[in-house]
Structure 1
Amino acid sequence: MNYNVEYINLKYSLIKCFLHSAESKVLDISYDLNGKKLTIQVVILGKAKLSPEIITNIKQELVGFDIAVNELNFTKEQFNESIGEWRPKNYTWLKHLLYSKAEVLNED
């Protein structure tokens, strides 16, 4: 069998860095890969920011990629506007969806 090892390694690394110890304020993660240019879009609740450790870990895990991490911040109400719909209302996913919450139930 032939496996796309680069694709598997990329997914594994993203899951390991973002989801293994997921921050509760992270609502959605999508990404696009164009050659060695990896763009990651992270939707975050409120005015929170990704911890610097996550960004450091992803860059250490994916050596050889030109990585850009874009953070989008939304309130609970803005994020929940698309409940019951497949695609988000207030932003567009990048080509590959890694993770998305259905809705924000609380803000703790």
Structure 2
Amino acid sequence: MPANKKYLSSNWQRFSKISAGFLGGYFVSITFHMALAFWFNHLDVIITSAFTGFILWCTLMVLAFLAKNGWKIWGIYLLLTFLFCTVIYLGKTYYPIIS
């Protein structure tokens, strides 16, 4: 018995969900931890990001597959990445790392 057509998504939606889950989730989790590293003790953030980064990435990947529209998820992930990049820039400006 074939699947009902209303539950199937197009190939572009499938591609956008998979790429948003893998790449977009990775970009969001990495920029989030980098933003934390510029505002808090960077050694502690780097140590804990080995575990929390993977958990955040997996959560974002699952959320990408639960969404109905993959392109909206891409937009949200790119918006979050841009927001965290802005926080990184402000962290570099106000708290420069002195070597």
TM-score under structure 2 length normalisation = 0.28
Structure with more contact order per residue of length (Cα contacts < 8 Å, sep ≥ 6): 2
TM-score under structure 1 length normalisation = 0.26
Q: Larger radius of gyration, structure 1 or 2?
A: 2
